Every structure is written in C-alpha cells, then in structure tokens.
Amino acid sequence: MIPSVDALKAILQEGKIPVIDIRLTRAFAEEHIVGTRSAPFNQTGWAEGLKPALSGSTIAIFSDSRQLGEAAKNAWERAGGTIALLWDQGLDPWKAKGEATVKVKNLTVDELAQSLDQVAVIDVREPYEWRSGIIPGAKTIPLGQLSQHLEELPQQKPYVVVCAHGNRSLAGASYLADRGYQAASVLGGMALWLGAGHPVDRSLNNENGGGSI
C-alpha cells in the first residue's frame, strides 16, 4: 500500500519518529520537506552510522526511488531497526497537496570568503575541532546544541553554517531554515576552506569563545 501525504504529515507533526531523507545531499539542499533529516543512503555502513545520531530505533524513510527506499529499509531492519513508513514518491505528491518545502543554499568556500562581511558564520563542529582553527568571527555552537542557542540568533541576519566536510553544516542550515532563518551550508567545510588558504583564527584553545553575532 502506497503511504499517503497525510500519513507522512502526521509522523512529521507528531515529531516522535525521525523522517530520514536518504536522497543525495545536493538534492536535499535543493529542496526538502520541513522537519526531515538528511542521511544519504549508501550500501556500506549507512544504518550503523545513522543509529548513534538517533534516540530510538524506529524511523520513517523519505526517498524518490523505490529501489533505493527498499535498500535503505532492508539495511535498517538488518541493523535491528523498525520502519514506520517508507515513502518513495519524492516531493511531487507532497507539493501537489500544497505542503511546504524548504531550500538550503550551498556556498563554495570562495563564495563565503567574498561575503564574510555580509553574513554570520556558525561553526557546528565539536570543541576539539575548533582548535585547528575557525573562520574569523565565526560563532561556535556544536550541532547538537544549536537548538539551545536560537535566542542568540536574530532572524533578520543571513547565516552560513560550516563544519568539517559539509554534512553537519547541511543539517544545521536545514534546522535553521526549517525555523524561518535564511541559512546556507558550506560545501566541503573547513577542509576546503583550509585547503584554499582562506584566513583562519587559531586563537581558540577551549570550548568557549569564538565570534559573536
């Protein structure tokens, strides 16, 4: 039986079961359903890598491919998890019902370097990672603590979220965008920022500090 838009919407509104979008990171960034989480499926270690980030073993899967959705379902169940709903119809039925989606822009490190004076940067890596250097002026908030700091983030500012390689930053930017913020994610994260030779602040030696917004 093909799940309905209403069934998917009910899971999202209840908020107890995470809806995992298994499409490619770029597809998620281009457009996704508010409240879904990005975890692109791969054949090796996907379920094992996802489980530590979740509080339970039951998930719903969002995909635009029946074959990919079934593969993810099988992988999750082999890892001992349960599937509450498997959606493999993509965004079209959801949008046809007039339901909301959100888009997260991806910036290259060069684009960010050219616009540093126009945006507020949030570094969502862990404290030990900041010691290797942060983007000058960046606000340091671990991804898992982002929800606790929303009052510090005025909605009128445009935000750019950065992490080590671009996965956590996409999750952080999506979280902000879902809540009405103008947010972008940095492609390649600090790995590419450092590789491109852009400026770095190396004065941060503990988990407190970082720039202010």
Over residues 109-136, the mean pLDDT reads 96
pLDDT category, 205, cuts 50, 70, 90?
low
pLDDT tens per residue across span 135-183: 999 999 999 999 999 999 999 999 999 999 988 898 899 889 989 999 9
pLDDT at 124 over 80: yes
> Which structure tokens are listed for 213?
């917004």
pLDDT of residue 26: 80
Interstrand relation of 120-123 and 32-33 (parallel, antiparallel or unpaired): unpaired
pLDDT category, 19, cuts 50, 70, 90?
very high
Over residues 83-107, the mean pLDDT reads 95
For residues 155, 153, 189, 107, the Cα torsion angle rounded to the nearest 10 degrees is 20
Interstrand relation of 139-140 and 82-87 (parallel, antiparallel or unpaired): unpaired
Query: In angstroms, rounded to a whole number, what is the distance separating the alpha carbons of residues 52 and 79?
Result: 12
For all residues of the chain together, what is the average pLDDT?
A: 92
> Which structure tokens are listed for 51?
């489980």
In sequence order, what DSSP letters do the residues of 117-180 get, joined into one string?
GGSEEEE-S-HHHHTT-B-TT-EE--GGGGGGGGGGS-TTSEEEEE-SSSHHHHHHHHHHHHTT
Report the share of the chain in percent with pLDDT over 90.
Answer: 79
Over residues 20-36, the mean pLDDT reads 90
The pTM of the whole model exceeds 0.85: no
Q: Is the dihedral of CA 29, 32, 34, 35 positive or negative?
A: negative
pLDDT at 2 over 90: no
